[in-house]
Structure 1
Amino acid sequence: MSIEGKAKEAAGYLKEEAFEHGTSPESQRKAEEGRELRNEGRIEDGKAPKTTEPGTGAKD
């Protein structure tokens, strides 16, 4: 597990959580960017990426 991967996952989580409940296209785009960053960090650490839609609250 790398420090960089953990940092990316944490930053992506924060960005996703901050924008996932917004209704504007801009908010949804930022939530998706957060999800992509989170998944990038997860993959670097050997974890499976999140596959559910941001904002569903599903435990993946």
Structure 2
Amino acid sequence: MSVEGKAKEAAGYVKEELYEHGKPPESQKKAQEGRDLRNEGRVEDGKPPKTTKPGTSH
């Protein structure tokens, strides 16, 4: 597990959580950017990307 991968996953998680419940399109776009960054970090660490809907606890 790389430090860079863990950092990307953590940063993506924070960005996703900050903007996930916003109504404006800009918030939804930033939440998606967070998900993408999170998944990029997961892939770098050899984990599968999260593909479930946010907030489903899967």
Q: TM-score, normalised by structure 1?
A: 0.90
* Aligned counterparts, 1:11-50, within 5 A: 11-50=11-50
Aligned to 1:37, the other structure's residue is in SS state helix
Is 1:51 aligned with 2:51? yes
Percentage of pairs with the same residue: 72
Gaps of 5+ in 1: none
Please list every run of at least 4 consecutive aligned residues from structure 1 whose deviation after the TM superposition is greater than 4 angstroms: none
Aligned-pair Cα RMSD in Å? 0.9
1:58 Cα deviation after fit: 1.7
Q: TM-score, normalised by structure 2?
A: 0.93
1:52 Cα deviation after fit: 2.1
Gaps of 5+ in 2: none
